[in-house]
Structure 1
Amino acid sequence: MPDTKLCLEALSALSGCNVEPTSGASQLTPQDFVNIVVLKQFYKQEGFKELEYPSIGTLSLQDLDDQDMYSSPPALGEGPSTAGPEESLRATVKINPQDFFHPQYDYDFTNIKDGDTKFLRGNEQYIRPCGWNRAALRVMQKYDGGDCWLGTGKDAWPVSYNGHNMDGSLGIILTRGESPADEPQFLDAAAACLVTKETRGRGVYSTPDIKMAEKYCKRFKSKVDGKTYKVVLQNRINPKKRNKCQREDIWLVYIPEVCNDVQTRAIVQESIRPYGLLLMQV
């Protein structure tokens, strides 16, 4: 796998916490990290300044400098942000690499090119993260219902990716139903949204396209080797919870307005499960 210290730096960059190694029990699970990443995006979009997360406490959502990891996302084609909050202002999280990572399932896609070769997960196209190096996360036998969600068959969940700043500001208009019968209603609602300038579906966002995630990914300069890296989370997404948006390269997990913090976190945990930490040297 990539250097363990480098992976911890990547987790720090994604979460906005100082992630440090420990020989004891990990303070957070891989699921906690995807929760933190998407919830920080969601609550910032909702206008909140802080996120309260169990076992960590208060996480700031405010921009601490012009290149804060949760500042407004760049326009498509622009480079991603490069710096996060000052380390002294971050919460510290202890992770035991041995119970957090799963090296047996690491995969280095750095020099792989798939070309026209198609891959499937859950009968949906899997765009493999070619050009990236994946550190596998230890998620097998961690969820009720077994590990079929993580497989390659028809019962597997599709693959999605999460950059650090994917939210409704991508200019997405509502969500679209799977049935063609929904199309007229969708078009009417989309037209109404254009009039009211409300273009965001309420929820958390990810993408099946690694290239889209890369545009919104987090960069960090490693203290291990002095090099700059990009980092993205590779997830599986529950097909029953995911909504396809007007843009085919964006998926939304809808969160109703009536949900409190606990219910919101439960929806995320039922919908998005991480299994890989992707790194690419810039």
Structure 2
Amino acid sequence: ITENEQHQFNVVAQYRAANDKPNNNFRKATLDPNESNTETLIIALDNFVQQFGGELSFTNEDLTFKEPAQRTACGIGDLSSAHLLATNYIPTAQFSFVVDLNYQTDLARSSETMQNFVLDFSNAIAEVLTCSNDYVRVTSVNKLEKNRRQTKINFGLTTPDPTETQKLVEDLKARARNGFANHRILKHVQKNEYDYKWKPLITYFQLQPTDFAPEFNIDYTSSMPTEDKRGGFPYYLPIGWYRHALKVVDKYPEDKLWLGSNNLDGEWPVAFHGTHGGAVKGIKEKGLLITKVDLMREEAVEQKGKYFDRPGLYVATHCTGGSHPTYTTPFTIRKSPDITETFRVVFQCRVKPDAFTIHKGPVQEGYAWRFVDPDAIRPYGILIKNENTEEPSLEDAN
């Protein structure tokens, strides 16, 4: 058994324990990888979370889905913020500062000493930048082999607003260039022209066993119609995929109409979102959109004005074609010693009417919808597809 396969078993075991079914004897309660199996979905979500350095965490606490950008900036993801992770909409600027402290004698002489330093360092960065302590997260403290009197501090800086994060990053760079000679904690930081890297980063991705609503699961078979309507917009059914429904009705108690299917005022249309967190150079040919190059920003401003002159989030009107490797990351589960099954995952979302601009190009099929408000996209289902399932053609999907 490989390390990854053992990890998958461990994740499923944690899910079973959280779901009050702690049968971790996988010979008796086997792991059966298939599209309709919730445990397959749990492995899919764990695979998704690992892209961002996070860990799947099961909790029995009631999770609110309000203000997903705020929670993501603090390092906590959940099913309401999955689209923000996949698009790198809430990026973390990752720095590596060098401090004139001996790792062994100054920091690692006890766990308490290290914990206090990490906390003091995070608070100090937040203090000089006048931002929330929650927006600064130390990810590791490493000794330098070449100079034992110095230590490297790796940390991330994030806010819910990418523009604000950029301002804080430039402020921190300027301060580090001049040094922090008069600061009690940061005086140990070496003056330098520190660079940084943008990367989505979370600590935990929280799940409740009750986050799923299996009574609303759907197997989108070829016998179903390919098109319907939601919120006054066409809804292109994801034929060939299996939907695991999320329990979201009580997550937005102030809004009773958004999840409807009667095309009434207040109902939100359906769109799709990919799960791959890698670097994508703009919106690609078809299907689900994950973009680091905001190609439609100028066109969005022309459509709806200056409000849309901000970093954009993209969803697609069509799911078919979205399983292309550019937009989803395949993962495998061993079914038997000789057989493995490969799956892909897509998020099915409702999106707020009048909160997006509509773009034909450069997608080949359907439209790209661009948003600037992260709260205007609400995942309500997770689509999963076995790679061995025949993919309907774009022509068949219309």
Q: Same fold (TM over 0.5)?
A: yes
Q: Which residue of 1 aligns with 2:380?
A: 275
Separation of aligned partners in 2, 1:58 and 1:252: 33
2:90 is the counterpart of 1:38: no
- Answering whether residue 332 of structure 2 is matched by residue 221 of structure 1, we say yes
Question: Given the alignment, which residue of 226, 233, 241 partners 2:347?
Answer: 233
Equivalent residue, structure 2, for 1:139: 248
Structure 2 SS opposite 1:214: coil
Q: Which moved more, 1:133-142 or 1:237-246?
A: 237-246
Structure 1 residues 112 and 28 mapped into 2: Cα distance closer, same or farther (>3 Å)? Answer: farther
Query: 2:46 is matched by which residue type in structure 1?
Result: S
- Give distance in 2, aligned partners of 1:249 and 1:232: 17
Query: Alpha carbons of 1:201 and 1:281: their partners in 2 closer, same or farther (altered >3 Å)?
Result: farther
2:207 corresponding residue in structure 1: 95
Once residues 217 and 239 of structure 2 are traced to their aligned partners in structure 1, the CA distance between those partners, rounded to angstroms, is: 14
Q: 1:242 to 1:113 in 2, by over 3 A?
A: farther
Taking the aligned partners of 2:264 and 2:138, their CA distance within structure 1 comes to: 40
Q: Is this contact kept in 2: 1:174–1:245, CA < 8 A?
A: no
Alignment of 1:5-16 (within 5 A): 5-16=39-50
Alpha-carbon offset, residue 118 of structure 1: 3.0
> 297, 301, 315: which one pairs with 1:206?
315
Matched-pair identity in %: 23
Name the SS of the counterpart of 1:7 in structure 2: helix
Q: Which has the higher contact order (CA 8 A, sep 6+)?
A: 1
Q: TM-score, normalised by structure 1?
A: 0.63
Farther-moved stretch of structure 1 (127-136 vs 241-250): 241-250
Question: Which consecutive unaligned segments of at least 5 residues does structure 1 have?
Answer: 62-88, 187-199, 255-266
Give TM-score, length-normalised by structure 2. 0.46
Task: Name 2:356's counterpart in structure 1.
Answer: 242
The 3-state SS of whatever aligns with 1:210 is coil
Deviation at 1:245, TM superposition (A): 2.5
Q: Which segments of 5 or more consecutive residues in structure 2 lack a partner in the other structure?
A: 1-34, 69-77, 96-131, 140-154, 157-200, 277-289, 388-398
Q: Distance in 2 between matches of 1:10 and 1:175?
A: 35
C-alpha separation in 2, matches of 1:245 and 1:13 = 31
Q: How many residues align?
A: 218
- Cα distance in 2 for residues equivalent to 1:273 and 1:141: 13
Q: 1:244 to 1:26 in 2, by over 3 A?
A: same
Rounded Cα–Cα distance in structure 2 between residues aligned with 1:108 and 1:206:
22
Residue of structure 1 in register with 2:178 after alignment: none
**Is 1:167–2:291 an aligned residue pair?**
yes
